[in-house]
Amino acid sequence: MNKNKKIKTFIYHIINVLIAFVFIFPIYYIIITSFKTEREIGTNVSIWLSQPIVTNYYETFTKYNIGPALYSSMIVAIFATIIGVIIGSMSAYVINRYDQKKLAFTILTTMMIPYVVCAIPLFILFQKIGWFDTYSGLILSHLIITVPQSVWILLGFVKGIPKEIEEAALVDGCTKYGLFYKIVFPLLKGGIVAAATLGFIMSWNNFSLALMLGGSKIVPAPLALFNFVGEAAINWGGLAASATLMLIPTIVFTLWVQKYLTQGLMVGAIQ
């Protein structure tokens, strides 16, 4: 019995290692590619570094000017995430407490619609009101990503908050707005962290909205990667360096909230 259990545990760990390898290896290969010369990238497919260089990173900032693109992506992702979580938490509360099934279905439907379809009417609207190629326009468009996702993550957390707490607060003279922001919102901390993390990552990596609603003034990082693709050749080293730089904010943010993220996703799944 113990022998069979050990074999199953060993197989379980082997499968986990293989799955982790499938996800981690591409990231590892991008990182080491960013430290190779163009000649080495074309001739040497080794997964080890022989003579690492930082020229690709230097050219990324000086020649290709990736800095402003990273800044633009950061501004859009942060504000879209904050606004999306606030609106999403209020929507999740209303849906759960007032049994708004039609509203929940509508929000679910928006998650099924491709972003490009939503970008077409937004493009026409922003052209007319002067929001095309602006931070306001891109942040508003990214709410298509962050709001529905926040709603569906936070619905389970709202359901887990006892109504007796809200009733006691109302008896003590708390207003409905105060009830939400002073009592309900803090209790959603785990769900908010989970929703904010996933919303930030999806907003940060979004390409289609940046392509259609960005321009010459506001160029987010996913769109700026096109600068490394020329008519005759592709600067693989610079492209890998830029991709590595794009990984840093999402990895740092995820590690920073890892504890709350794990707890939040587990609680949301159970509820």
- Which residues, in sequence order, are bridge partners of residue 229? 234
pLDDT of residue 259 exceeding 80:
no
Helix, strand, coil distribution of the chain in percent, nearest 5: 80, 0, 20
Q: What is the mean pLDDT of residues 145-166?
A: 88
Mind spelling out the 3-state secondary structure of 4-26? HHHHHHHHHHHHHHHHHHHHHHH
pLDDT of residue 270 exceeding 70:
no
Q: Which of 56-70, 95-109, 157-171 has the highest mean pLDDT?
A: 56-70
Q: What is the mean pLDDT of residues 61-75?
A: 91
| CB crowding 146-159: b at 16 or more within 10 Å, else e | bbbbbbbbbbbbbe
Q: What is the mean pLDDT of residues 136-148?
A: 93
Q: What is the mean pLDDT of residues 188-192?
A: 86
Q: Looking at residue 151, what is its pLDDT?
A: 93
Q: Looking at residue 72, what is its pLDDT?
A: 93
Q: Looking at residue 170, what is its pLDDT?
A: 85
Both structure tokens of 106: 């509508």
Q: Looking at residue 178, what is its pLDDT?
A: 85
Q: Looking at residue 161, what is its pLDDT?
A: 84
Q: What is the mean pLDDT of residues 30-59?
A: 85
pLDDT of residue 41 exceeding 70:
yes
The answer to whether 106 touches 187, Cβ cutoff 8 Å, is no
Q: Looking at residue 114, what is its pLDDT?
A: 86
Q: CA 210, CA 265: separation in Å to the nearest integer?
A: 29
Q: What is the mean pLDDT of residues 95-113?
A: 85
What backbone phi and psi angles, to 5 degrees, belong to 70? Answer: -65, -40
Among 190, 196, 9, 172, CA closest to 86:
196
| CB crowding 181-190: b at 16 or more within 10 Å, else e | eebbbeebeb
Q: What is the mean pLDDT of residues 169-182?
A: 85
Q: Looking at residue 77, what is its pLDDT?
A: 95
Asked which of 105-109, 209-213, 235-239, 240-244 is least confident by mean pLDDT, the reply is 105-109
Q: Looking at residue 83, what is its pLDDT?
A: 96
